[in-house]
Chain A
């Protein structure tokens, strides 16, 4: 039982490159989230999906797109990476109780 699995764990991109961060859960939760965490800023919500087939913007959606592929998978795409998107990205899932987090992706844009 893996819980919430994110790939990759580390990534270095050049400015302007694109990439997709993957998240998969086996907890049968309806809701899934993408957060970014920067020093001193706490966790900021990028996008979330309340259920399969729906997605909504969070606090900091600019520069990102998401896809809720099915109940298990929720991906985050950076179309044209910028240095300001250097951060640690966390995927989380939630049912009727607490949220549970993946192990994170440390992304550096140079």
Chain B
């Protein structure tokens, strides 16, 4: 079992719709969770991080964490063509220095 797994994608959504991305992780000791966006040919850039159970909102983005079920999700509301990218989920375990990444989910927003 991979440490971090994401929807295989690709995910295609119409402009203005909600894109929902899911990520599950295997280690219950994980404490920090991050979502990165990566445009084609570019480096990953941080969108959001979440440490506590529940929802965290930042503009059109909402991260949701459920440690009991070991999943973290990202919702993109009012999706725009500029949101078309690959989204990477990353998890950091307690006492560990490194991040573990999922393989990413590619999102395409149709105009």
1/0 contact string of B78-111 vs chain A (CB within 8 Å): 0000000000101000000111011110000000
CB pair A42–B44 under 8 Å, yes or no, is: no
Q: Measured between alpha carbons, how far is A35 from B44 in the docked complex, in Å?
A: 11
Question: Is A101 engaged at the interface, CB distance under 8 Å to the other chain?
Answer: yes
**CB-defined contacts of A45 to chain B, threshold 8 Å:** 98-99
CB pair B46–A42 under 8 Å, yes or no, is: no
CB pair A40–B103 under 8 Å, yes or no, is: yes
**Chain A nearest Cβ from B56, distance in angstroms:** 13
Interface residues of A in 3-53 (CB under 8 A from B): 31, 33, 35, 40-43, 45, 48, 50
- Size of the A side of the interface (Cβ < 8 Å), in residues, is 23
Given known A-B contacts A98-B34, A99-B34, A42 and B49 have beta carbons under 8 A apart: no
Give the interface of B toward A (CB within 8 A).
34, 42-46, 49, 88, 90, 97-99, 101-104
Give the interface of A toward B (CB within 8 A).
31, 33, 35, 40-43, 45, 48, 50, 56, 58, 90, 92, 94, 97-104
